[in-house]
Amino acid sequence: MEIATFIFRMILALLFISSSVSKIKNSTTHASIVKDYKILPERSIRFFSVLDTYSELLIGLLLIFGLYDSWAVLAGSGLLLLYSVAIVVNLLRGRREITCGCGGIVGNHNLSWILVSRNVLLIAMCLWVYQIPTTYGNLSWALETGNFRTVYGEEYWTLMIIALLSTLVILIGQHLGSIRKKVHELVAQK
């Protein structure tokens, strides 16, 4: 269970960090996507866009280092729930043409119930990490006990590679899905 917790924690960390880096690089686009949702008042869009972006970065970094990871996964769950509510509101309004604005390794897709399902799965991963603690890569525990060898030993690096490969598989799957969609669109044009 501790191994699964660590792998989930690293996958979530990479998702949050890559999403935030993407939003930082494209901050104007991200703000316009937030505006497209037509939920927030105009004057709060920029503030929310910045808050959202840097919250994701902080959550991802805390998860990577195992600092305040319980707080980080709860905050991450809250963000994912907030995103899901915004998507559901727009889906119920019939507005599917909006890009989700997720960015990073999960990419940007038009709004759909699949995105809501994906977010529910990610929230479940967050809750798993919250419920089942792990010492792997947990800097808080290493500082508290002085046992850095156990926290960052051989098993840690093996699990880190597994987490990175798992994330890579997710990324490849998404790209294959995008390619498949484009091929179907090209075939439909002929």
pTM score of the predicted model: 0.82
Give tens-digit pLDDT for 104-132: 878 788 999 999 999 999 999 999 999 99
Rounded distance between C-alpha atoms, residue 190 and residue 188, angstroms:
6
Map residue 93 onto helix, strand or coil.
coil
Q: How many CA atoms lie within 13 A of 120 on its CB side?
A: 8
Q: Which two tokens stand for residue 69?
A: 């990871």
Average pLDDT, the chain: 90
Q: pLDDT of 27-84, one tens digit each?
A: 999 999 999 999 999 999 999 999 999 999 999 999 988 888 889 999 999 999 999 9
Distance CA 27, CA 56 (A): 14
- What are the angstrom distances between the C-alpha of 20 and each of 17, 23, 27, 170? 5, 5, 10, 18
What local confidence, expressed as pLDDT, does residue 142 receive?
A: 83
Query: 123: which 2 tokens?
Result: 């929230």
Determine which of 5-9, 24-28, 49-53, 102-106 has the lowest per-residue pLDDT on average.
102-106
What confidence category does residue 176 fall into, taking pLDDT thresholds of 50, 70 and 90? confident
35 close to 95: Cβ distance less than 8 angstroms: no
> Where are the chain's structural domains?
1-189
Q: How confident is the model at residue 153 (pLDDT cuts 50, 70, 90)?
A: confident
